[in-house]
Structure 1
Amino acid sequence: MPLPSQSFAHRRPLIGDPPQTGFVIALCALFLLTGLFGRDPWKGDDALHIAVALGFAREPGWLIPTLAGQIWLDTPPLFHWVASLTGRAAALIGASFADGVRLTSALFTALWLLGSAGAARELYGAPAARIAPLIAIASIGAVTYLHDAQAATTLLAALGLGMWALALIARRPLHGGIVLTLALALSGLGTGLWLTAILLLTAALMPLLPVWRTVAATPQRMLALPLAMLAGTALAASWYVALRLERPELAAQVWDEDVASLLPDSALLVGGMSSWVKVMAWYAWPALPVAGWALWQRRSQWRSPVLTLPLVLMLLLFVQLAGDGIARNQRALPLLAPLVVLGSAGLPKLRRGAANALDWFGVMTFSLLGIIIWLGWVAMYTGWPARLAKTFSRLEPGFSMPFYFMAVSLAVIMSLAWVWLLWRSPRTPTRGAVSWGCGMVLIWFLVSSLWLPWIDYGRSYRDVARQLAEHLPEERTCVAYAGLQESQRAAFYYFAGLKPLAYASGTGRRCSVLIAHYGRGGRKPALDAGWTLKWEGRRPGDRHEHFLMYVKNTT
Structure 2
Amino acid sequence: MNHPTPAIVAQSAVRRLPRLALLLLCAAYVLPGFWGRTPWKAQDIEAFGYMLQLADAGLGGAASWLQPTLLGTTDAQLALLPYWLGAVFIQWAPAGFEAAFARLPFIGMLSITLASTWYAVYALTRHPAAQPVAFAFGGEAKPADYARAMADGGLLALLACLGLARLSHETTPALSQLCFAALVFFGLSTWTRHRIQSAAAVAAGMLGLTLSGAPSLALWLGMGGSLICATAQPDPAQRRLTMLDVGLMALIALLCITTAGALDLWRWRVVPHTMVDVHVLAKLMVWFTWPAWPLALWALWRWRGQLSRGWRYPHLGLPLWFVIVTVGATWFTGLSDRALLTSLPAIATLAALALPTLRRSLGALIDWFTLLFFSVCALIIWVVWVAMQTGTPAKPAANVARLAPEFVPEFSVGAFALALAATVAWGALVRWRTGYHRAAIWKSLVLPASGAALCWLLLTSLWLPLLDYARSYAPLVTKISRITGTGGCLQYAGLSKAQGAALMHHAQARLMPMQAPQSDCPWLIMDGVNRSLLSAKIQSLGWVEETAIKRPTDKDETLVIFRPAKAMAAPADVPGR
TM-score by length of 2: 0.82
User: What is the Cα deviation at residue 477 of structure 1?
Assistant: 9.1
Q: Which residue matches 1:307?
A: 316
Q: How does 1:35-74 map to 2 (within 5 A)?
A: 35-59=33-57, 61-68=64-71, 70-74=73-77
The reply to whether residue 486 of structure 1 matches residue 497 of structure 2 is yes
Asked if the contact 2:192–2:240 (Cα under 8 Å) also holds between the matched residues in 1, the reply is no
User: What is the Cα deviation at residue 339 of structure 1?
Assistant: 0.5
User: What is the Cα deviation at residue 368 of structure 1?
Assistant: 0.9
CA distance, structure 1, for counterparts of residue 212 and residue 336 of structure 2: 20
Q: Which residue matches 1:144?
A: 166
Asked if the contact 1:399–1:454 (Cα under 8 Å) also holds between the matched residues in 2, the reply is yes
Asked if the contact 2:517–2:523 (Cα under 8 Å) also holds between the matched residues in 1, the reply is no
Sort the Cα spacing of 1:205 and 1:269 in 2 relative to 1 into closer, same or farther, 3 A: farther
Sort the Cα spacing of 1:228 and 1:341 in 2 relative to 1 into closer, same or farther, 3 A: same
Q: How does 1:92-111 map to 2 (within 5 A)?
A: 92=94, 96-111=97-112
Q: Which residue matches 1:118?
A: 119
Aligned residue for 2:175, secondary structure, equals helix
Asked if the contact 1:501–1:508 (Cα under 8 Å) also holds between the matched residues in 2, the reply is no
Asked if the contact 1:166–1:203 (Cα under 8 Å) also holds between the matched residues in 2, the reply is yes
Matched letter for residue 37 of structure 1? W
Asked if the contact 1:518–1:547 (Cα under 8 Å) also holds between the matched residues in 2, the reply is yes
Aligned with 2:464 (options 448, 452, 472): 452
Aligned with 1:495 (options 496, 506, 509): 506
Aligned residue for 1:268, secondary structure, equals coil
Sort the Cα spacing of 1:364 and 1:218 in 2 relative to 1 into closer, same or farther, 3 A: closer
Can you list the C-alpha shifts for 1:138-158, whole angstroms capped at 9, x where unaligned? 111220111122221111112
Aligned residue for 1:140, secondary structure, equals coil
Aligned with 2:183 (options 153, 157, 161): 161
Aligned residue for 2:34, secondary structure, equals coil
Asked if the contact 2:232–2:314 (Cα under 8 Å) also holds between the matched residues in 1, the reply is no
Asked if the contact 2:374–2:455 (Cα under 8 Å) also holds between the matched residues in 1, the reply is yes
Matched letter for residue 290 of structure 1? L
Moved over 4 A (4+): 15-18, 212-219, 499-503, 507-513, 522-526
Aligned with 2:259 (options 235, 238, 241): 238
Matched letter for residue 87 of structure 1? I
Q: Which residue matches 1:273?
A: 278
Sort the Cα spacing of 1:413 and 1:270 in 2 relative to 1 into closer, same or farther, 3 A: same
Structure 1, unmatched stretches of 5+, are 1-12, 244-250
CA distance, structure 2, for counterparts of residue 468 and residue 75 of structure 1: 31
Aligned with 1:20 (options 18, 21, 31): 18
Q: Which residue matches 2:572?
A: none
Matched letter for residue 26 of structure 2? C
Asked if the contact 1:40–1:98 (Cα under 8 Å) also holds between the matched residues in 2, the reply is yes
Q: Which residue matches 1:77?
A: 80
Asked if the contact 1:39–1:456 (Cα under 8 Å) also holds between the matched residues in 2, the reply is yes
Matched letter for residue 286 of structure 1? P
The reply to whether residue 464 of structure 1 matches residue 472 of structure 2 is no
Q: Which residue matches 2:329?
A: 320
User: What is the Cα deviation at residue 18 of structure 1?
Assistant: 5.0
Can you list the C-alpha shifts for 1:328-378, whole angstroms capped at 9, x where unaligned? 333321221311111121134211111111111111111111111110011
User: What is the Cα deviation at residue 67 of structure 1?
Assistant: 1.9
Sort the Cα spacing of 1:17 and 1:275 in 2 relative to 1 into closer, same or farther, 3 A: farther
CA distance, structure 2, for counterparts of residue 52 and residue 189 of structure 1: 15
Q: Which residue matches 2:429?
A: 421
CA distance, structure 2, for counterparts of residue 217 and residue 390 of structure 1: 66
Sort the Cα spacing of 1:75 and 1:157 in 2 relative to 1 into closer, same or farther, 3 A: same
CA distance, structure 2, for counterparts of residue 284 and residue 381 of structure 1: 34
The reply to whether residue 329 of structure 1 matches residue 337 of structure 2 is yes
User: What is the Cα deviation at residue 525 of structure 1?
Assistant: 4.5
CA distance, structure 2, for counterparts of residue 377 and residue 478 of structure 1: 38
Q: Which residue matches 1:547?
A: 559
Sort the Cα spacing of 1:213 and 1:419 in 2 relative to 1 into closer, same or farther, 3 A: closer
CA distance, structure 2, for counterparts of residue 532 and residue 473 of structure 1: 18
Asked if the contact 1:68–1:493 (Cα under 8 Å) also holds between the matched residues in 2, the reply is no
Q: Which residue matches 2:443?
A: 431
Aligned residue for 1:37, secondary structure, equals coil
Can you list the C-alpha shifts for 1:165-194, whole angstroms capped at 9, x where unaligned? 112112332222122112112111223212
Sort the Cα spacing of 1:18 and 1:237 in 2 relative to 1 into closer, same or farther, 3 A: farther
CA distance, structure 2, for counterparts of residue 513 and residue 401 of structure 1: 32
Can you list the C-alpha shifts for 1:171-225, whole angstroms capped at 9, x where unaligned? 3322221221121121112232122221233134225524159887667x34224
CA distance, structure 2, for counterparts of residue 192 and residue 63 of structure 1: 16
The reply to whether residue 401 of structure 1 matches residue 409 of structure 2 is yes
Identity of aligned residues (%): 26
Aligned residue for 1:63, secondary structure, equals coil
CA distance, structure 1, for counterparts of residue 91 and residue 284 of structure 2: 37
Q: Which residue matches 1:226?
A: 247
User: What is the Cα deviation at residue 509 of structure 1?
Assistant: 11
Asked if the contact 2:14–2:149 (Cα under 8 Å) also holds between the matched residues in 1, the reply is no
Asked if the contact 2:149–2:442 (Cα under 8 Å) also holds between the matched residues in 1, the reply is no
Matched letter for residue 307 of structure 1? L
Aligned residue for 1:527, secondary structure, equals helix
Higher fraction of helix? 1
Aligned residue for 2:217, secondary structure, equals helix
Aligned residue for 1:39, secondary structure, equals coil
TM-score by length of 1: 0.85
Q: How does 1:130-209 map to 2 (within 5 A)?
A: 130-206=152-228, 209=231
Sort the Cα spacing of 1:536 and 1:170 in 2 relative to 1 into closer, same or farther, 3 A: same
User: What is the Cα deviation at residue 271 of structure 1?
Assistant: 4.0
User: What is the Cα deviation at residue 291 of structure 1?
Assistant: 0.9
Asked if the contact 1:123–1:306 (Cα under 8 Å) also holds between the matched residues in 2, the reply is yes
CA distance, structure 2, for counterparts of residue 411 and residue 446 of structure 1: 6
Sort the Cα spacing of 1:429 and 1:337 in 2 relative to 1 into closer, same or farther, 3 A: closer
CA distance, structure 2, for counterparts of residue 328 and residue 509 of structure 1: 41
Matched letter for residue 304 of structure 1? Y
Sort the Cα spacing of 1:508 and 1:435 in 2 relative to 1 into closer, same or farther, 3 A: farther
CA distance, structure 2, for counterparts of residue 218 and residue 380 of structure 1: 62
Matched letter for residue 490 of structure 1? A
User: What is the Cα deviation at residue 508 of structure 1?
Assistant: 9.0
Aligned with 1:33 (options 9, 31, 34): 31
Can you list the C-alpha shifts for 1:399-429, whole angstroms capped at 9, x where unaligned? 1211111211221111111111112343644
CA distance, structure 2, for counterparts of residue 207 and residue 159 of structure 1: 16
Q: Which residue matches 1:517?
A: 527
Q: Which residue matches 1:377?
A: 385
Q: Which residue matches 2:288?
A: 283
Aligned with 1:366 (options 346, 356, 374): 374
Matched letter for residue 383 of structure 2? L
Asked if the contact 1:468–1:535 (Cα under 8 Å) also holds between the matched residues in 2, the reply is no
CA distance, structure 2, for counterparts of residue 463 and residue 67 of structure 1: 22
Matched letter for residue 65 of structure 1? P
Sort the Cα spacing of 1:409 and 1:477 in 2 relative to 1 into closer, same or farther, 3 A: closer
The reply to whether residue 86 of structure 1 matches residue 108 of structure 2 is no
CA distance, structure 2, for counterparts of residue 290 and residue 323 of structure 1: 26
Structure 1 window deviating more from structure 2 (179-188 vs 369-378): it is 179-188
CA distance, structure 2, for counterparts of residue 217 and residue 96 of structure 1: 49
Asked if the contact 1:181–1:229 (Cα under 8 Å) also holds between the matched residues in 2, the reply is no
